[in-house]
Structure 1
Amino acid sequence: MQHTSAVGAGKLRRMRRMFGADGRGVFVAIDHAAYMGEGPPLGEPMYEIAAGRPDAVLATWHVARAYAGPLAGSGLVLRVDGGSSELGDRAAGDTNALLHRPEEALTIGADCVVVLAFPGAPDEDRSLTRLARLCSECELLGLPVMAEMIPGGWGQAVPWTAENVARAARIGAELGADIVKTVCPGPPEEFAEVVRACPVPVVALGGPKMATEDDVVALARGVVDAGGAGVAFGRNVWGSEKPRQLVERLREAVHGAADADRPSSTSPGAGR
């Protein structure tokens, strides 16, 4: 008989809250305002996103606390790094730090924590060390870590080729991440190279607002067809005029029609 430690059981349960029985997940990123000071609209749009039943949300401390009721049916991936904003001049290098510790994340009900890392950037050691230390701490608590791996940083100090994105994803996994979130390096079929290189689930971020919502859904379907574990889309969801319907379409693209037709286990307005 196989036995699972308490820590291992914790990770299993929390991972299952974010990924369905098919091993796939639709994540909605609503953590942008922590550095933009704007972005995901508060109030009714948050309830609309929740009503679409994403598998999980990437959220700030405020969103996790203020919308705990509506979002209780989705896994919570808490953004724990930051400390810089877009209000002034863009920093020349990595000025971020860990803002919340793993134990604190657990107190607000996090199923996972997420941090950025920039392999290939001139000061890559800062973010990679931050990621590794966080993974070590979270391992002791059974708390999964999502590494948002951006090769060369947002300034693309190295090109976002399929090879570089794949190498960045592998680095994140080797440092202890349980999930990797990263860019789609080109057409969705190129994501297959990233998936093959990485031994943990890989989800694709959405990036800038796309021309149409059909494009958003097509990217999600293409990522999954390439072997990806799902998507983590932000402004393409919260920037939609009908975010609930878009999340439902993404669920169908990622999980299939049977899942999209499954009734919600919670009332859309719970906690309002």
Structure 2
Amino acid sequence: MQTYSATGAGKLRRMRRMFGADGRAVFVAIDHAAYMGEGPPLGEPMAQIAAGGPDAVLATWHLARAYADTFADAGLVLRIDGGASELGDFAPGDVNDIMHLPEQALKLGADCVVVLAFPGAPDEHLSLRRLARLTSECEQLGLPVMAEMIPGGWGKAVPWTTENVARAARIGAELGADIVKTVCPGRPEEFAAVVEACPVPVVALGGPKSDSEDDVVALAGGVVAAGGAGVAFGRNVWGSAKPQLLVERLREAVHGGGGAG
């Protein structure tokens, strides 16, 4: 029987709060309004998302507090970086910073924290050093870190090829991330190369709103078939007319047979 350190045991328990017994997860991202100033509709849509049974939500500080009861049965991944909005012109470079401390995230009940990193961007050193410092600190607290690895940044200073996405995912893991969230390059089956390159669970982000929810569900199934640990979808879930039904469909695509924890 393996005995864990206190922090190791804490990290294990928190990872199990997010991932089912099959090692997979449906994350619903509701953290967009922190930079968009709009996004997930408040009130009943939140209850519908929760009723669908996501394994975890990616939330802002406000939503984590305001909907603590609504999402009490789901894991909580707290967005702790930021500092820029889309109200004006896009910043010419990385102006993000750590906005909330890991200890504060723990007090809020977070099972994980998430931050962005941009390997391949001209100022990649800012986000990569930020990620490394955070993982070092969170390791001492038993708090998992999700790294949202965007090769070249949102401006695509490097193309989002399978090779570049795979390398970005590996960089995130090497800097200490426990989970990597990244783009799905091309067809879902190409995600296999990303998974193979990365020694920690990799989940695919959803990107812009799709016109077809069947395509959204198919993407989730394809990512898992390629070895991915699941998906982290936002706009396609909270932008749905029936978010509960879509979350249920995503759970079936990711976990199959309802075998989630």
Instruction: Name the TM-score class by shorter chain.
Output: over 0.9
State the distance in 1 between where 2:259 and 2:51 align: 15
One-letter code aligned to 2:161? T
Counterpart in the other structure of 1:269: none
Counterpart in the other structure of 2:179: 179
One-letter code aligned to 2:159? P
| Alignment map for 1:210-225 (pairs within 5 Å) | 210-225=210-225
Contact 1:251 1:259 in 2 (8 A): no
Contact 2:119 2:151 in 1 (8 A): yes
Counterpart in the other structure of 1:243: 243
One-letter code aligned to 2:213? E
Counterpart in the other structure of 2:62: 62
Counterpart in the other structure of 2:169: 169
Contact 2:22 2:259 in 1 (8 A): no
Deviations 1:102-154 (A, max 9, x none): 00000100000000000000000000000000000000000000000000000
Counterpart in the other structure of 1:114: 114
One-letter code aligned to 2:74? S
Contact 2:21 2:259 in 1 (8 A): no
Contact 1:146 1:180 in 2 (8 A): yes
State the distance in 1 between where 2:152 and 2:120 align: 4
The structural deviation recorded for 1:34 is 0.1
**Identical positions, percent:** 82
State the distance in 2 between where 1:223 and 1:105 align: 29
One-letter code aligned to 1:21? A
Provide structure 1 residue ranges, at least 5 long, that are not aligned to the other structure.
263-272
The alignment's C-alpha RMSD in Å is 0.9
Counterpart in the other structure of 1:79: 79
Counterpart in the other structure of 1:100: 100
State the distance in 2 between where 1:19 and 1:2 align: 20
| Alignment map for 1:1-272 (pairs within 5 Å) | 1-259=1-259
State the distance in 1 between where 2:186 and 2:49 align: 27
TM-score computed with the length of structure 2 as normaliser: 0.99
SS in structure 2 of the partner of residue 20 of structure 1: coil
Counterpart in the other structure of 1:270: none
The structural deviation recorded for 1:3 is 1.2
State the distance in 2 between where 1:87 and 1:76 align: 27
The structural deviation recorded for 1:211 is 1.8
SS in structure 2 of the partner of residue 245 of structure 1: helix
Residues matched between the structures, number = 261
Contact 1:161 1:185 in 2 (8 A): yes
Counterpart in the other structure of 1:266: none
The structural deviation recorded for 1:210 is 1.1
Runs of 4+ residues over 6 Å off in structure 1: none
